[in-house]
Amino acid sequence: MKILVTGGTGYIGSHTVVKLLEQNYEVVIVDDLSNSEESVLDAIKEITGKQPLFYQFDLCDSVKVAELFTEHKDIQAIIHFAASKAVGESVQNPLKYYRNNLDSLINLLYQMEQHSISNMVFSSSCTVYGQPDKLPVTEQTPFKPAESPYGNTKQVGEEILRDTTNAIDQIQAIALRYFNPVGAHESALIGELPKGVPNNLVPFITQTAAGEREQLSIFGSDYDTHDGTAMRDYIHVVDLADAHVIALERLLDTKQKSSFEFFNLGTGNGCTVLETVKKFEEVSGVQLNYKLTDRRPGDVEKIYADTSFANKELGWSAKLGLGDMMASAWKWQKRISKID
């Protein structure tokens, strides 16, 4: 069964491609390599012994998208990761985010309608909730105004999916609202590989530990948390990849209960930035050079998931803890930085 994975050389995409290949799906990847490397394909092959088909182009190019679907008329489902995803950058460059994240989704949905493709798993985010009034966040927590253009693109993306699945009977979609993915594959052959200065906490931690960054900045020390730093729900990327395959099979087996479903994917545990730093120091044995600095525009204060709905409906739960996440991220960083 052929599955299209957009953004499949990216961080979460590559881990999901590995899971799909291990379960004998045929995978076609489209990625523009704006935040990933083509060498990831070699790592995927080394892990699985299988080579996915790969196309490099921008999904905002509707002509290229149409050509892909004409060439691969037997695509059964799409897992759509491809998007710009840095909260801070989205505040500085909102038009880039609205174009990349929404045009690409619309182009894919149009081709799904044209080629009678029924199933999409959509990469959403806990940023759709804004800063919730009440924690933990359930799937019924109302959306607050997004704290960033990135978060707003995920809110609007879900609205587009809801409207489209309501209007076009053949199309079903599941949106997976990730909390904060971290960690790397146990082989250390794939992991988070941001281009330039990392926007996410853990690669900045590991690059600082590896000596590639002079100092780690912790944005905000006056939040309403027990240590003043922002609180997040960190989830291992391998657990997250498992959830995508489960959601895909729910669609393929027509087990969904409505044409558009959505699930929170997290551990249900809130950890502050300082707690995460301390856990990394504990598992790695490396003391980090860090400083507390001003809050960063677009960041929410604290958020963590109630995952009971995903646990019950999908039969999925996160299995790996924060120590596993930090240890695998450090193993990956040591490999790419050539540290013994």
Catalytic residues: 150
Answer whether 22's CB lies under 8 Å from 48's CB. yes
Answer whether 109's CB lies under 8 Å from 119's CB. no
Instruction: Give the integer Cα–Cα distance in Å for 12 and 324.
Output: 17
By three-state DSSP, how is residue 120 classified? strand
How big is the CA angle at 62 (ends 250 and 174), to the nearest 5 degrees? 15
The position carrying tokens 């491609």 is: 17
Question: Alpha carbon of 45 to those of 52, 259, 307, 315: distances in Å?
Answer: 8, 34, 33, 29
The position carrying tokens 């995508």 is: 244
- Residue 242's identity, in one-letter code, is D
Count Cα neighbours of 338 within 13 Å in the Cβ-side half-sphere: 0
C-alpha Rg value of the chain to the nearest Å? 19
Q: Which residues contact 163 (CB under 8 A, 6 or more apart)?
A: none
Answer whether 79's CB lies under 8 Å from 241's CB. no
Q: Residue 124's closest CA among 89, 172, 195, 173?
A: 173
What percentage of the chain's residues is helix, strand, coil (to nearest 5)?
A: 40, 20, 40
Chain-centre distance for alpha carbon 95 = 21
